[in-house]
Chains A and B, each alone.
Chain A
Amino acid sequence: MELSSSLQKLGAYQPRKNDKSQQLLSRKDALLKTYVAQGDEGWDLIEKLALAALDQGEVQVADECLKLLSDKFPGSPRVEVLTGIRMEVTESSEIALSFYDELLATDSSNAAIWRRKAAVLRRQGKIDQAVQELSSMLDTFYTEVEGWIELADLYNCCHQYAYALQSLSHALLLAPQNPFHFLQFAETAYLALDIPLSLKMYLQVVDMTDDDDEDLAPIDSIPTGITLRAWLGVKLCTHKLLTEPRLVNSSPSQTAPPTTSNLSSLDELSTERLRTAYLNTTGESPPKADKAFIDAMAKIIQ
């Protein structure tokens, strides 16, 4: 179990220069001296150090770590993936891809390698191949939630919202407890102009996230974070449905729209909620006009 989760992490790795990796890297001398004493945890740290070094572009440090790891665990799939990530940094994409292909030829059951391949292809701009790799991986390893999210992301960046919704629905099936997947689904449905579906999904997110404070009635609470985002989504949907009535009945997923009276109360409710949040964050009264208000809210959330 632990192996598969750490492989998942490696599969999802993206290089980014942040303070955390800088900090870890600055402790490298101490780490390289003490890792042996820490047993298994020490080896974990070495792996993290290697990734941090790659983040910061310090290939030599990464190589040093990689050598330690591959001496200790020859043939480990985890080290192999790490080697691949190291290759991606300096070698050309073709070499990295052929390295991954080689790995897959000997052991096609390592899902992390498929994801790395898709990531390399994506960076090259070969979205179609990346989609192909990911979907053939997900066909076998259905339970990789992250993979489905990534696939939806790939579809999103070429505006294939219907496909993105399909991949997201798999992610929802696999992790129905995660409100962020619902939010993503709602946002994608909004982009796909399936407003009734989007509205219901936003409301679902609200329902899932608004009662974190046990002792406060939802009506008295101030929406924050994901709940606030969801309320803005609700507001956007109701606004759109009220101003463009033809969207009410044009839902590709045949979602039943709310009744007109429900719709207007929802509009009022979401406006009220958003105003509360606006007042609370900025301390001034929000703009009156619907459009200006939505824009102001969007700025706050960003």
Chain B
Amino acid sequence: MSGDTVSLYLDSQIRDWVLFPITLVMILVGVLRHYIVLLLQSAPKKQPKEVIREQRALVRSQILRATASSSPIPPTYYKSISQYLSQAFADGTYLKDGPPQGDAPTTPPNPLTDPAAMDGMMAGMKTQMVMMVPQMVIMGWINFFFQGFVLIKLPFPLTLGFKSMLQRGIETPDMDVRWVSSLSWYFLNFFGLNGLYRLILGNENAADSSRDMSTPFAAAAAPQPGQAQDYNKLFKAERDNLEFSEGLHSWVAKDADTRILQKYGRPIPTS
């Protein structure tokens, strides 16, 4: 390596007309994207009462079960609630489409035919497009105009391992690793600008594109976790849990009389 003796001199025009524009364009595109995504995000749709009822039915039984081992309510009341819930789960009272018919297919609905699920997926796709298209355009722009440009020299030495990272697009075996090519500069910005966006736009920004590169369809899949759930099956499973907790039930005030007498130092007759 003779990088120190045989030095490269960069035209300052490269700095003014290539390095700064690439950085500036990428920052601006990120900010712009943030606002476009904000525009595209439709407000979460209000769910009809039946759907909420279906989703929350499980919470009811969970609350009941959570208190079972030291329950605030006496056994008869506990049993009546527990059995009511169990019966309702068995009959499908809480299902949003009413109790299931005998011959109806039990498979979960295809998300492609369900308009509600389709909407969610389209929204995910839309944001995905806003993410991908500008990045592709910028990369094409850099590749077309500035291919093979050396833009900047890092102020610190690096080992050879960084060569493929920092000198993409320049096939020179001997050049010092500290020189950064245009395409590599693009990638460095691509992955490194998130901190800057957080400064400019706050923590919940949508400008960072490297985040969703790794999981292209995560955004589309995430908002719909409950869509394909078969509540009928969940309810049936919950019935077993209910039965189990019914056995665990013990009323917190069951021996309140002896407890209080003990607390106040009264003798407790053994008979």
A residues near B (Cβ < 8 Å) are 107-109, 139-143, 165-166, 169-170, 172-174, 176, 182, 197, 199-201, 203-204, 206-207, 210, 218-219, 253-255, 258-259, 261-263, 265-266, 268-269
Question: Provided the pairs A109-B47, A170-B81, A173-B72 are in contact, do residues A218 and B269 lie with their beta carbons within 8 angstroms?
Answer: no
Q: Does B156 contact A (CB under 8 A)?
A: no
The smallest C-beta distance from A210 to any residue of chain B, in angstroms, reads: 8
Question: In chain A, what residue has the closest Cβ to B261?
Answer: A265
| B59 CB contact (under 8 Å) in A143, A255, A265 | A143
Report whether over half of chain A's contact residues are helix, strand or loop; otherwise say mixed: helix
A-side contacts of B52, CB under 8 Å: 109, 140-141
Closest chain A residue, CB of each to CB of B252:
A204
Which residues on A sit within 8 Å (CB–CB) of B48?
108-109
**Chain B residues closer than 8 Å to A265, beta-carbon distance:** 261, 266-269
Task: Give the nearest-CB partner of A254 in chain B.
Answer: B76
Query: Is B253 part of the binding interface, using a Cβ–Cβ cutoff of 8 Å?
Result: yes
Q: Kindly list chain B residues whose C-beta atoms are within 8 Å of the C-beta of A199.
A: 257
Whether B162 sits at the interface, judged by CB under 8 Å, is no
Other-chain contact of A200, B67, B77, B256, B263 (Cβ < 8 Å): B256
Query: Chain B contacts of A269 at CB under 8 A?
Result: 260-261, 264, 266
Q: Is B123 an interface residue (CB 8 A)?
A: no
Contact A203 to B257, CB < 8 A, known contacts A218-B264, A219-B265, A262-B269: yes
A266 in contact with B72 (CB, 8 Å): no
Q: With both chains docked as a complex, state the minimum distance between the C-beta of B238 and any C-beta of chain A, in angstroms.
A: 14
Using known A-B contacts A169-B77, A203-B256, determine if residue A141 contacts B264 with beta carbons closer than 8 Å. no
Complex interface bits, B118-134 against A, C-beta within 8 A gives 1, otherwise 0: 00000000000000000
| Bound-state Cα–Cα, A140 to B50, Å | 8
A262 and B261 CA atoms in complex are apart in Å by: 8
Q: Which residues of chain B have a CB within 8 Å of any CB of chain A?
A: 46-49, 52-53, 56, 59-60, 63-64, 67, 71-78, 80-81, 252-254, 256-261, 263-269, 271
User: What chain A residues lie within 8 Å of B268 (beta carbons)?
Assistant: 262, 265
Chain B residue at minimum C-beta to C-beta distance from A182: B72
Residues of B within 8 A of A182 (CB): 72
Is A266 touching B53 in the complex (CB atoms < 8 A)? no
Shortest Cβ gap from A65 to chain B (Å): 26
Do residues A262 and B271 form an inter-chain contact, with CB atoms below 8 A?
no
Contact in complex: A172, B263 (CB < 8 Å): no
The answer to whether B271 touches A259, judged by C-beta atoms less than 8 angstroms apart, is yes
Chain A residues within an 8 Å CB radius of B49: 108-109, 140
Q: Tell me, rounded to whole Å, the shortest Cβ–Cβ distance linking A239 to chain B.
A: 15
12 A-B pairs (CB sep. < 8 Å): A108-B49, A109-B47, A141-B52, A143-B56, A166-B77, A200-B256, A203-B253, A207-B263, A219-B265, A253-B74, A258-B258, A263-B257
